[in-house]
Amino acid sequence: MTDTIIVLTEDTLSSSDVDKLLALHDGEAYAYRVLVPADTDQPLVATIIDNLSMGELREAWNRARGKEPSQPEAKATADEQLAGSIAAFQAAGRTATGVVVDDDPLPALKTAVADGDVIEVAVVTYPHAVEDTFHTDWASRARDELQVPVLHLYAGTSELG
């Protein structure tokens, strides 16, 4: 059984994100499993605040109008993000597997950790003003519920969440 690191991400991992993840365990030969939620249920106020804080005016407007992706749209987007993330690991010379999970990724994380070979969870997201402040983000919830170390990285940066 190979020790595994679960990488939960809300978007396609960039090459710099993968490089940072690999640098955390330089010289180690861990397996990487990527989880990408097919996100269709985004909280109204928190999402609008996040969009506005990131300068995403169109996204904030669409969310205020109640526009959320349908299940097929969310699944298609998540499939693309998963494929891109696995390709980023391959470009870095590492193999990775992955799967698209439901809106709430915590049940999938619990199942993966229960398999017994997961040594760490790395959550890669963009900053979320409301969720991060009130510790309702994926990483905080995973820390509360899982018995493995959980690291929160902000996508495209060297900042920790």
CB atoms within 10 A of CB 115: 11
Report the distance separating Cα 14 and Cα 22, nearest Å.
12
Residue 154, H or E segment = strand 150-154
Report the distance separating Cα 133 and Cα 36, nearest Å.
23
Structure token digits, residue 103? 């809106």
Least confident residue range of 17-26, 59-68, 82-91, 92-101: 59-68
Angle of helix 106-114 versus helix 138-145 axis, rounded to 10:
40
Q: How far apart are the first and last CA of the chain?
A: 30
- List, for residues 61-76, the tens digit of each pLDDT value: 776 776 677 788 889 9
Amino acid making up residue 31:
A
Could you tell me the pLDDT band of residue 138, with boundaries at 50, 70 and 90?
Answer: confident
Least confident residue range of 30-44, 45-59, 108-122: 45-59
Report the distance separating Cα 121 and Cα 125, nearest Å.
13
